[in-house]
Amino acid sequence: MSFPISLETPVRFPGPLPAACDVVVIGGGVIGVMTAWFLAERGLRVTVCEKGRIAAEQSSRNWGWVRQQGRDPAELPIMVEAMRHWDSLAQGFGDALGFRRTGVMYLATTDREIAGFEGWLPHARDHGVDTRLISRAEVVSTLKGAVAGWTGGLVTPSDARAEPWVAVPMIAAEAARRGVTVVEGCAVRSLDLAAGRVVGVVTEQGRVACDRAVLAGGAWSSLFARAHGVSFPQLSVLASVAATEPMPEVWPGAAADDEFAFRRRADGGYSLAPGSGHDFWIGPDAVRNLGTYLPVLKKDFRSTGFRPAAPSGFPDGWRTPRRWSADRVSPFERQRILNPAPNMTRLGRVQDAFARAFPGLGRPRLKTAWAGMIDTLPDVVPVIDRVAAIPGLVLATGMSGHGFGIGPGMGRVIADLVAGRAVGHDLSRFRLSRFSDGSVLAPGPSL
């Protein structure tokens, strides 16, 4: 399989679409795939409908970090569980998954950053995570050839990495072997409701009867939900990433400071990305939700590149329809895969910063570059909740760039939420009603 996954990627999961099942999962990213995996384990008949290709959007375009470090306190226990699931998956799939517990390191250049790291340490201790602060000397001795002026760092040796564009389709294939129906090139146009309850979904290939649906559509979720009268302030940011040619190993894990982030790859190169920089297209939803996002904007304003208009057909495009008929072509068919161009200027600055930090290696040569749209929410944590206004619908979206690593843990939680079982974690921070009940939205740690 070539990267990035695109419409030229051969269909691996053609269906057929069943007439009925217990649960339809809308979206074939890591959250949708892992939810289906655990629903099938619970004996439910599950269908995953993906409008493009499995993992073709952010689930294959992320950095490939699998980290506990720096998580929101409400996410952390689910992430600790996710690590156990990753270990189990790695035992089953072997080296092909690319999962390695090689560590994650955050690098500080100011005392204020060190103080932020220290403030997170009690959460690590509460959950038995092996995170610790390290000195400037320890940073330099750990990262071979490093000369950057970091003041110290935060490291979690038990954190990990994996190859996202390989891992998620591989897990989907095994889920299909275990009985999950996975259908690519099959957009869900609408929920089918009777007396306000889910009784099915209408896809471009026909109707599927079901009494439960999971909306795990990533950047597309708010567009789909709003068409059914369910609103929440989800937006998306563009994140650019590049893969280098093979290079000598400076560290087998992943690390980041404000200027650049890197992760060792299985092919001997590195995935490189801006440490904090991203781009944002202004659209109708952005204007509508501006006030809600002000606390986050104040933190990230300097690292955000604002663009005047989203590309045609993107979820928050100015001309993207907000209403459509279930018997007509929907926005999800018109734009099957979000494939924005990477910001090569930002990536050039990343190359320069990496070369300054590791002068012995020189400026890394890029093999390829790509970008993805990260769906986010104003408090930088997801929505995982039943939708009270539409019985039978569960919302699982807004992973805010944290979804790949936590995917197996979230999948288990969502599956048990759908199945009516105890989820084992406090999900109150992830409730949908926080956007309408007057709650003060507190952004998670910016680590």
Phi first, then psi, for residue 120 (nearest 5°) are -90, -20
Q: Does residue 447 surpass a pLDDT of 70?
A: no
For CA atoms 28, 29, 33, 35, the dihedral sign is negative
Count CA atoms closer than 13 A to 429's CA, side-chain side.
Answer: 21
For residue 408, what are the domain limits? 23-435
Task: Indicate whether 17 belongs to any domain.
Answer: no
Residue 260 and residue 214: Cα distance in Å, rounded? 35
Query: Is 304 in a helix, a strand, or coil?
Result: strand
Q: What is the mean pLDDT of the chain?
A: 95
Per-residue pLDDT tens digits for 12-70: 999 999 999 999 999 999 999 999 999 999 999 999 999 999 999 999 999 999 999 99
CATH of the domain at 45: 3.50.50.60
Residue 382 and residue 384: Cα distance in Å, rounded? 6
Query: Is 224 in a helix, a strand, or coil?
Result: helix
pLDDT level of residue 2 (50, 70, 90 thresholds): low
Q: Say which amino acid occupies 39.
A: L
Per-residue pLDDT tens digits for 211-237: 999 999 999 999 999 999 999 999 999
Query: Is 397 in a helix, a strand, or coil?
Result: strand
User: How many independent structural domains does the chain possess?
Assistant: 1
DSSP 144-185: TT------EEEEETT-EE--HHHHHHHHHHHHHHTT-EEEES
Task: Indicate whether 187 belongs to any domain.
Answer: yes
Task: Indicate whether 205 belongs to any domain.
Answer: yes
Task: Indicate whether 399 belongs to any domain.
Answer: yes
Task: Indicate whether 15 belongs to any domain.
Answer: no
Task: Indicate whether 275 belongs to any domain.
Answer: yes
Per-residue pLDDT tens digits for 318-371: 999 999 999 999 999 999 999 999 999 999 999 999 999 999 999 999 999 999
Residues 6+ apart with CB under 8 A from 427: 74, 384, 385, 413, 417
Residue 374 and residue 278: Cα distance in Å, rounded? 10
Task: Indicate whether 73 belongs to any domain.
Answer: yes
